[in-house]
Amino acid sequence: MNIDFQDNTNKVAAADIDLLERLLQFAAERENVPSEAEVSVNFVTNEEIREINKNYRQKDTPTDVISFAMQESVDGEMEIIGEDLPVTLGDIIISIDKTIEQAEEYNHSFQRELGFLSVHGLLHLLGYDHMEKDEEKVMFTKQEEILGEFGLER
């Protein structure tokens, strides 16, 4: 899987990006994501994610992670046909301010929280959700299994 990282905060160390690269590749293999798939991971401030949350979810508050899946189809949308096109899964946007806050709140490392939010975002791009209790159980169990198998536990 090709992962494009963009740090708008200049707060994420190269070692942390390397960790996320390995973690997301691990999760992608576990979930049978095609090797040519593409995803972007963007690190932003609380103010930036608040604006995104307001514009796309009508919630005028910062959040920790937002995912925009590109593989969801919409009624009336034109289908793009082509065998050689890479599978673009979508975008994961993570608030680094929230990551720091939540790592302190949950009493674990910044890397663990960043890993959790990245896997959470990737699973959303793959179609998992947590709107219903049964969906939430499946998704959160999968998150914990991936993080545990990778060795990034609380």
Binding-site entries for Zn(2+): 120, 124, 130
Residue matched to tokens 């190269």: 14
**Closest C-alpha to 99, from 33, 46, 143:** 46
Annotated binding residues = 120, 124, 130
Beta strands 88-95 and 38-44 are parallel
CB 1 within 8 Å of CB 24: yes
